[in-house]
Amino acid sequence: MPFHDASTILEPYRPGDEISIRQLLTAADLVTDDLLKGIWPNFVVLRINDRLAGAAAIQPCSPIIGLLRSVVLDPKARQLGLGRMLVEEAENLAQSDGLRDIFLLTHTAAPFFTHLGYRPIARREAPATIQSTPEFQQLCPDSAVVMRKMISLGL
């Protein structure tokens, strides 16, 4: 399927997207064990020709801190700037909800996130609300890179 001339839409999650999001995450070897009912409304999805081709969520961990997670893009849609658009839309929604400080854990995508303004930090520098998440405690091993981005206006 050609993506360069496709109809591309970024939008909030719709009920019923769970199966497609899980399939994309599983195909990308990303965890799905902790995707609980309450996380779904935090997802932003990318649709190409009415097919779900990407997803990202920022899970609130406190009134101002969030965890960027489950960022996934169909391999055919990569290298087109769509991943950047997906993360930026998730950040915009998080910022409109009052979140100001976003963290993530990654094994393989640190260069991508660095390009988007995230900076590596030591694990011990992550706030307790991030350290208490299943991703931090169990799902992402100590070898995962912890990154941070402040999305407050002007930062």
- Across all residues in the chain, what is the average pLDDT? 87
Residue 92 identity: N
Per-residue model confidence as pLDDT tens digits over 68-80: 999 999 988 887 7
Q: Name the more confident of 6 and 3.
A: 6
CA 91 to chain CA mean position, Å: 9
Using CA atoms, how far apart are residues 4 and 16, in angstroms rounded to an integer?
Answer: 26
Statement: residue 154 has pLDDT above 50:
no
What domains does the chain contain, in order, with CATH numbers? 8-150 (3.40.630.30)
Confidence of residue 155 (pLDDT cuts 50, 70, 90): very low
Per-residue model confidence as pLDDT tens digits over 92-101: 999 999 999 9
Which strands, in side-by-side order, build the sheet including 119-121? 8-12, 43-48, 51-60, 65-73, 101-106, 145-150, 119-121
Tell me which residue of 40, 118, 44, 27 sits closest to 85, measured CA to CA: 44
Residue 35 contacts residue 134 (beta carbons within 8 Å): no
Per-residue model confidence as pLDDT tens digits over 113-123: 999 999 999 99
Integer CA distances (angstroms), 13 to 10, 21, 79, in order:
9, 10, 23
Statement: residue 35 has pLDDT above 50:
yes
Q: Global pTM?
A: 0.88
Tell me which residue of 147, 136, 124, 130 sits closest to 65, measured CA to CA: 130
Confidence of residue 2 (pLDDT cuts 50, 70, 90): very low
